[in-house]
Amino acid sequence: YKEVPSGYPEPGKTLVYDESQTIDLDNVSLHGGILTKTLSLSLDPFLRGKMRDSKIKSYSPAFVLGEPIYNDGVSIVLRSENKSVQAGDHVISNISAQLLICSFSSPWVQRIRATDFQEYSVISSESKWTVVENEHNLSWGAFLGVLGMPGHTAYSGWREFAFPEKGDVVFVSAGAGTVGSLVIQIAKSEGLKVVASAGSDDKVDFIRSLGADVAFNYKKQKTSDVLAKEGPINIYWDNVGGETLDAALAATAGRARIICCGHISDYNADKPSSITNLGLAVSRELRISGFLIASIWPKYEKKFYDELPKAVASGNIKHVVHETKGLEKTGQAFKDMLTGVTSGKNIVVVAEK
Ligand code: NDP
């Protein structure tokens, strides 16, 4: 991680592929930990927020300049000095569990470690990881996406904040992303009318294939026009913020629920966009809930793992994975994810096995 970006992170400037450090795989000391080879790494919008001036506080610490960035990833164990893990096992990191520890009990004191964006790692015995039991033989993209942090976000956030009622109209922005596409499918499974938006015609087709009743390209049709026709809306799942949130607020029914999951339209902007329709929260008795998945993850974890892996394996829950092959392409892949060039769960495949 070379430089704090202003605007979109530029490949080769913000993130640089650095071959200067090598590791002696046969002789490196493990000190009771494990030696892993990185297979797949997750690219998520929230990583942009970690590319900031380290003096600015937020729920997740800033990345450290000169060090690799890190996030959830799947690795294979090459050597282990820890009895609970064997060579050949696959391990997955869970950055949300670590955020939970870091944000709420010991703020800012801990450097969070997840999976570093590097080819090999020595992971100390104190670090948290989970050995993957891949009983349904699913892809690593599924583990990092629909079954990973974004999947938990959609599943748990809906259960905690949506309060769906028969006949409700739901609007989902960034509907072709991992979070949005799972929210659409959950809302449809509850028999609700779903309106969803995305930024290309291919993404709109994908959203339709998930069962959305109305799918539109927000770059071609104004969100406010579509919602005026299809609303009023009872639930808005907000992945985007800014103008889209404003249009959704204007289109609410009384006592609508607004679930503020993300505001990606602001992530690369100099300053957050202003929202003009917030006053409607009072007159329409809106319930506006912002959340971080880390804080509600434990409550729904068991139910999530009981239901979702089976549903994904059987095809009842659909998901898309976009793989970028090669760690050196991370910078471009990250920008493509943020700008919407690619769709679905974006991962970097560092090695196949
Ligand atoms: P996505 O794949 O949905 O995010 C990338 C997509 O965002 C792009 O493909 C693009 O789609 C869309 N996008 C980018 N810029 C804009 C813009 N200016 N206006 C509208 N859409 C834009 O990511 P996820 O599914 O992983 O996450 C969805 C949201 O949820 C994000 O905001 C993320 O930060 C948030 N999140 C929040 C969590 C929490 O704990 N609260 C946890 C996980 C995610 P398109 O082509 O359609 O424009």
Instruction: Quick: pLDDT tens for 16-56.
Output: 999 999 999 999 999 888 999 999 999 999 999 999 999 99
* For range 164-173, the mean pLDDT: 98
Q: How far does the centroid of ligand 1 lie from the alpha carbon of residue 176, in Å?
A: 9
User: Is 80's pLDDT higher than 90?
Assistant: yes
Distance in Å from the first CA to the final CA of the chain: 26
pTM score above 0.90: yes
User: Is 116's pLDDT higher than 60?
Assistant: yes
- Residue 203 Cβ inside 6 Å of ligand 1? The answer reads yes
Please report which confidence band the pLDDT of residue 114 belongs to, taking 50, 70 and 90 as the band edges: confident
How is residue 300 written in tokens? 């729904």
Going along the chain from its start, the domains and CATH numbers come out as 1-133+320-353 (3.90.180.10), 150-292 (3.40.50.720)
Residue 141 has a CB neighbour count (10 Å cut-off) of 24
User: Is 97's pLDDT higher than 80?
Assistant: no
User: Is 285's pLDDT higher than 90?
Assistant: yes
Q: How far does the centroid of ligand 1 lie from the alpha carbon of residue 60, in Å?
A: 18
Name the percent of the chain lying above pLDDT 90: 85
160 neighbors 179 (Cβ within 8 angstroms)? no
For ligand 1, atom 10, which residue shows the shortest CA distance? 340
pLDDT of residue 339: 98
For ligand 1, atom 18, which residue shows the shortest CA distance? 265
Q: How far does the centroid of ligand 1 lie from the alpha carbon of residue 30, in Å?
A: 38
- The residue written with tokens 């600015």 in the block is 56
Measured CA to CA, the distance from residue 75 to residue 38 in angstroms comes to 4
Q: How far does the centroid of ligand 1 lie from the alpha carbon of residue 180, in Å?
A: 8
pLDDT of residue 111: 43
* For range 257-280, the mean pLDDT: 96
With residues binned 3-state (H G I as helix, E B as strand, rest as coil), the percentages for the chain, rounded to 5, are 30, 20, 45
Please give the ipTM for the structure prediction: 0.99
pLDDT of residue 99: 62
User: Is 131's pLDDT higher than 50?
Assistant: yes
How is residue 144 written in tokens? 């990092």
- Which ligand 1 atom sits closest to the C-alpha of 262? 32
pLDDT of residue 138: 95
For ligand 1, atom 16, which residue shows the shortest CA distance? 265
Please report which confidence band the pLDDT of residue 123 belongs to, taking 50, 70 and 90 as the band edges: confident
- Which ligand 1 atom sits closest to the C-alpha of 294? 40
Compute the mean pLDDT over every residue in the chain, rounded to the nearest whole number: 93
- The residue written with tokens 């937020």 in the block is 58
How is residue 37 written in tokens? 């080879």
Measured CA to CA, the distance from residue 68 to residue 245 in angstroms comes to 34
pLDDT of residue 59: 85
The residue whose CB lies within 8 Å of the most ligand 1 atoms, and thus the one to mutate among 98, 179, 222, 243, is 179
